[in-house]
Structure 1
Amino acid sequence: MDSLTQIVLGAAVGEAVLGKKVGNKAMLYGAIAGTIPDLDVLASNFTDTVSALEIHRGFTHSIVFSIVFAPIFGWLVSKIESFKSFKSWSWLFFWAFITHPLLDAHTTWGTQLFWPFDLRLAYKNIFVVDPIYTLPFLVCLLLALFSRRTNPKRQFFNRLGLILSSTYLVITLFLKWAAFSQFKQALNNQKIDYIDIDTRPSPLNTILWNANVDTKDVYLLGDYSFFDSQPIAFSAYEKNHHLIDDLKHNEKVQRMIAITEGWYSISQKNGNLYFNDLRFGLLNLKPESNDFVFQFLIEKHTDGTVNFIEQPRDRSDAKGMLNALWKRIKGN
């Protein structure tokens, strides 16, 4: 999830664990702990694109990290603060650390919760930024923040935020199932043979859902809003995997394919090849567009090495996407 959401979650968890004893400092350290796992993004400054993608939401989002580093941070804080309970501070950091990847597991990217095992949990039932999850949670946290430590309402507001956000997460699982059923029914009605379906919510909401459909020759992309009145339409995208046949044994290419879990296509433009990560869909809603959110230039060198260069996006792309998204949410 986004940084604000993880700060809110961490602060609420900190308050739940230690708020009665240390007041607002529990929220402060909980918020700090909620941001620490995402420091893995700094890896992009020190390594190549593929390695940075592998590191993201890896070790720092694991049970191992929570167990190992919670007592370290707990010990440090116990030496700084007047409240000296090493056990209590360690408990706060553990729960703030572990709830971070548990929430991230509901997004499309997922987390390697069981690192070092190569298993990424990605339920794909909530977008990385979802106002319906975050805003009520934030309001409840602020109400708790400005209540006295001894005021029973403080714990009430904090628990209410945790309950509302968790309940919404459960609801999104049912919404995902309902959307998946609609996609599956549409494929059956259109007599489309398919290998696999991958569904996820579109940005900022859980009303409009996107689907990637793997068929023998092409990928089909479609979207469905719970306000739709017309049948689901699918657009075909060539896989073009043959364009990198000469690279299929390259170690970095194999790692990139593993990162996308096989959901990728290759496009060609101006003599260059681009690797498209289909898991995050398109940057616009235009049928048969090849403007994917995550697109990487494949840079081949004479010595046989390969680099992947992520293609930048400007703000105008996002603005156009949001305008089209709002219209599409209201139904086809």
Structure 2
Amino acid sequence: MDSLTQIVLGAAVGEAVLGRKIGNKAMLYGAIAGTIPDLDIFSSYFTDTVSALEIHRGFTHSIFFSILFAPIFGWLVSRYETYKDVKGWSWLFFWCLVTHPILDAHTTWGTQLFWPLESRLAFKTIFVIDPLYTLPFLVFLILVLFQKRNTPRRRFYNNMGLILSSSYLLLTFALKGMANNQFEKALIKQQIDYVDMETKPAPFNTILWSANVETKDQYLIGYYSFLDKNPIHFEAYPKNHNLLGDLIQKKKVQRMIQISKGWYTITEKEDRLYYNDLRFGLLSLKPNAQNFVFQYEIKTDKQGEVTFTETIKNPDDAKQLLKDLWIRLKGN
């Protein structure tokens, strides 16, 4: 999830653990702890694109990391804070560290929660930025700030924020199930023979959903809003995996395919090859759009070494997408 959401979650969890004993400092340290797992993004400055993608939401987003570092952080903070209970601090850091990846596991990217196991847990029920999850949570957290440490109202506000956010997160599973059902019905009705399908919410909401559908030679992408009145339409995108040629044997290409779970297409523009990760969709709702959210140019040097370079996004595309999403959300 986005940084603000993780800060809010961390602060609320910190308050739940130590709020009665240390007041607002519990929220402060909870917010700090809630951002620590995302420090893995700095790996992109020290390694190649593929390795950085593998590292992101890996070790730092695992239960192992939380267990290992919670007592270390707890001990360090107890050295200079007036509250000296190492166990109390350790519990704060543990719960704030571990709830971060648990929340991230609900997004499309997922987390390597059970590191060192390679599999990522990705429920794909919520977008990385969802105002319906964050804003009510934030409002209750702000109310907590203005309450005295031992007042029942402070506990009530914090619990309400946690209950509402958790309830919404559970609701997204039901919404995903309903969207899945509609996509499956549409595929059957349109007599589309498919190999696999995955669904996820469109950006910033859980009313509009998208589906990636794998067939033998192409992928289909469709959208469904709970406000739709017309049948679901699917756009086709050829796999073009053959364009990789001998590059398919390269280790880095194989790693990239594993990262995207096999959901990718290859496009060729002006004698340049591009790798498109389908899991995160497109920056446009227009028919036959090719500007994928995550698109990488595949380059090969004289030694045959393969590199992936993410293409630069046009900010205007994102602005237009927001407008198009709002229109599409209201039904087809």
What TM-score does the superposition give when structure 2 sets the normalisation length?
A: 0.99
Alignment of 1:207-222 (within 5 A): 207-222=207-222
CA distance in 1, matches of 2:7, 2:52: 23
Hey, what's the Cα distance between the residues in 1 that align with 2:185 and 2:6? Answer: 36
1:314 deviates by 2.8
* Structure 1 partner of 2:169: 169
Amino acid of the structure 1 residue aligned with 2:38:
D
Separation in 2 of the partners of 1:312 and 1:176?
Answer: 31
Provide the aligned C-alpha RMSD in A: 0.5
Residue 88 of structure 2 aligns with which residue? 88
- Amino acid of the structure 2 residue aligned with 1:13: V
Measured in 2, the distance between the counterparts of 1:3 and 1:294 equals: 20
Q: What SS does the corresponding residue of 1:294 show, helix, strand or coil?
A: strand
Once residues 82 and 315 of structure 1 are traced to their aligned partners in structure 2, the CA distance between those partners, rounded to angstroms, is: 47
SS at match of 1:277: strand
Alignment of 1:92-107 (within 5 A): 92-107=92-107
Residue 189 (str. 1) matches residue 189 (str. 2): yes
The answer for the alignment partner of 2:329 in structure 1 is 329
Instruction: Specify the alignment match of 1:243 in structure 2.
Output: 243
Q: Where in structure 1 are there 5+ consecutive unaligned residues?
A: none
Aligned-pair distance for 1:301?
Answer: 1.4
Compute the displacement of 1:106 (Å): 0.1
Counterpart of 1:144, as a letter, is: V
Provide the rounded CA distance (Å) in 1 between the counterparts of 2:6 and 2:37.
10
- The residue that corresponds to 1:283 in the other structure is 283
**CA-CA distance at 1:248 after TM superposition:** 1.1
TM-score (norm 1): 0.99
Question: Residues of 2 paired with 1:11 and 1:265: CA distance?
Answer: 40
Tell me how far apart the structure 2 counterparts of residues 312 and 25 of structure 1 sit (CA, whole Å).
Answer: 40
- The residue identity in structure 2 corresponding to 1:181 is N
Query: Structure 2, unaligned stretches of length 5 or more?
Result: none
- Counterpart position of 2:15: 15
> Aligned equivalents of 1:316 and 1:186: distance in 2?
32
Give the Cα–Cα distance (whole angstroms) in 2 for the partners of residues 138 and 312 of structure 1.
32
Stretch deviating more after TM superposition (277-286 or 244-253): 244-253
Segments ≥4 residues shifted beyond 3 Å: none
Amino acid at match of 1:276: N
The equivalent residue for 2:311 is 311
- d(CA) in 2 for partners of 1:298 and 1:314? 20
What is the aligned partner in structure 2 of residue 133 from structure 1?
Answer: 133
Shift of 1:56: 0.3
Alignment correspondent of 1:226: 226
Offset of residue 80 of structure 1: 1.2
| Partner SS state of residue 204, structure 2 | coil
Counterpart code for 2:291: D
Structure 2 equivalent of residue 3 of structure 1: 3
* Structure-1 residue corresponding to 2:260: 260
